[in-house]
Amino acid sequence: MVPVPTKELVSGVLAASLTPMTAAGSPDHKMAVGHIRWLLRNGCDGVAPLGTTGEANSISLADRMALIEAIAAAGIPADRVIVGTGNCALGDTVALTRCALQAGYANALVLPPFYYKGVTDDGLYAYFSALIERVGDAKFRLYLYHFPQMSAVPVSAALIGRLRAAFGDVVAGLKDSSGDWANTQHLIDSFPDFRVYSGSEQYLADNVAAGGVGCISATVNVTAPLAAQVLRADPAKRAPLQAELTAIRLALQGFPTIPAQKRLLEWHTGNAAWRHVQPPLLPLTEAMAADMRRKVADFPLFREQIALAAAS
């Protein structure tokens, strides 16, 4: 069943979904689809496959296309998926975005071209405008990906304004992974009808209260049940839940993000295949794993929720 394209991505709690790998180093389609379904059953409103957390830039273009097609063949709804399609090469970004659209996924999360540093807004405007024009599909919705710590190429408010002025609703939103709440709030305040997601569930309550649309977060792969509770709580009762969610997020940030979450999922599913990562990443060391077990033990509600979710 092919998803029906939609113009608007779901709001709420979205996981920047992990990519399960085979021992040979290619995406495991069956596990990936199963994990996405698990996330959608256990608190996530949507998923963002093939982003930073999905190890996308360590996966070949052909393997990424095949995974997109596998997710579509499984019938994962179009309004609940935003596919990471950013690459350094414009042609690769165009090809991957077209693949997503052909599979039924109109929403794409696109990193700026990140190899050359110190590029100007004019250069980035040329890149994103060429992407929109070459894709040439009215259904396409571009979500900019602001992650300066990783890409070293920021997406400025001025650039967003220029792109919105030129292309309107095609430039639909942004994931702000800067960790700078002031920047996120500035974008929410500056661009009405522009869909701003925080890159961490640490800011979920603040984002929603300010008029944003939620979060797209790496650690939601394991915090989804609690994040959903925060989102759906009465605003007057949200603070203690958000405090625990933030504490868990900060504790997990002390470990290599992708190997740590894969190890957590291995523990709670009993599937050792979760340990596989793409080089240059390495599995969590035993010492790190033991330390993470101790830290996770400080959050009994989190442990209980992920254990129940893993059984579902």
Catalytic site positions: 52, 115, 145, 175
Task: Please tell me the distance from the alpha carbon of residue 127 to that of residue 274, in angstroms, as a whole number.
Answer: 36
Q: What separation in angstroms does the CA of 180 have from each of 56, 93, 186, 199?
A: 24, 27, 10, 10
Q: Check whether the bond before 283 is cis (ω within 30° of 0).
A: no
Give burial (CB, 10 Å; 0-12/13-18/19+) of 270. Answer: exposed
* Closest to 184 in 3D by CA, of 221, 162, 213: 213
Neighbours of 65 (CB within 10 A): 19
Task: Please tell me the distance from the alpha carbon of residue 149 to that of residue 45, in angstroms, as a whole number.
Answer: 26
Q: What separation in angstroms does the CA of 198 have from each of 13, 116, 139, 283, 302?
A: 10, 25, 24, 27, 21
CA 80 to chain centre: 12
Task: Please tell me the distance from the alpha carbon of residue 237 to that of residue 246, in angstroms, as a whole number.
Answer: 15
Task: Please tell me the distance from the alpha carbon of residue 204 to that of residue 284, in angstroms, as a whole number.
Answer: 28
DSSP, residue by residue, 263-279? HHHHHHH--GGGG---T
Phi, psi for 132 (deg, rounded to 5): -60, -45
Phi, psi for 6 (deg, rounded to 5): -135, 155
